[in-house]
Amino acid sequence: MKIYIACDHKGVELKNQIINYLTNNGISIIDIGLENHDADDYPDFAFKVCEKVIEDEENLGILICGNGIGMSIAANKVKGIRAARAVTVDDAFKAKNHNGANVLALSSEVDIATTKEIIDTFIITKSATDERFIRRIDKISSYETGNNNEL
């Protein structure tokens, strides 16, 4: 598993803290490394990370912006990505276990201790195994490929 990470200008400090935290815990993390400046655009970062995540289903992504919403919206435009904004540990668990999320969108406004717990939960949580969750994820994937779902 590889974890790709990127942020806009609002998330630089948090991104660096996350990289240090994860690498110190033996987790392979790859900083996409686009240059940050005050006028950067979060979709650029989201698209780059998501392109890497979809190369291997074991890959995960972490995106950081001011509140995480913009990154999650942009990320979800990439076919095969299920991005979720998480501001609590429960969000991270349900994003992955109930919804098959492969990208975590974080807010730079959440404290580092909580952010670490959110990330740890997201990484260790198993993907959906419950039939109802799998059915729902499959419906999303089917729609994404142009197949209409029954209502």
Catalytic residue check, 65 = yes
The rounded distance, in Å, linking the Cα atoms of 145 and 72 is: 20
Q: Which whole-number Å values give the CA distances from 80 to 8, 19, 20, 77, 104, in the listed order?
A: 22, 25, 28, 9, 14
Task: Label residue 41 left, alpha or beta by phi (over 0 means left) and psi (-120 to 50 means alpha).
Answer: beta
C-alpha neighbours within 13 Å on the C-beta side of residue 104: 34
Q: Which of 12, 86, 22 is nearest to 42 (CA)?
A: 12
The catalytic position among 9, 37, 50, 65 is 65
Catalytic residue check, 37 = no
Which residue's structure tokens are 């890959």? 59
Encoded tokens for 37: 């400046």
Which residues are known to be catalytic?
A: 65, 98
